[in-house]
Amino acid sequence: VGIAGSSILGENVRIGGQAGISGHLKIGNNVEIGGGSGVIKDIPDNSKVMGYPAKNIREFLRDNKWYTKQLQLIQMLRFLKM
């Protein structure tokens, strides 16, 4: 984990290996940062982020076509099990 600058970390922050935080940022409470992520903006409370630059997981999944297809497949399988 690399932290550059004077970032403020909230309580219960979990940072994955090889993640980097750069700048004077505020990381909220109950935040999870995925391994290898690059944080360059403030992160609000109760967030899970990943990627480079780090994005909220829902935004990351929405922007990534492969993950979107996998998510659709999972939702379809759940529907079929009902």
Question: pTM here?
Answer: 0.71
Distance CA 80, CA 73 (A): 11
pLDDT single digits (tens) 10-69: 999 999 999 999 989 999 998 999 999 999 999 999 899 999 999 998 766 566 666 677
Contact 5, 25 (CB under 8 A): yes
Average pLDDT over residues 71-77: 81
First-to-final CA distance of the chain: 43
- What does the block give as tokens for 6? 């004077």
Q: Is the peptide bond before 53 cis (omega within 30 degrees of 0)?
A: yes
- What does the block give as tokens for 21? 């935080």
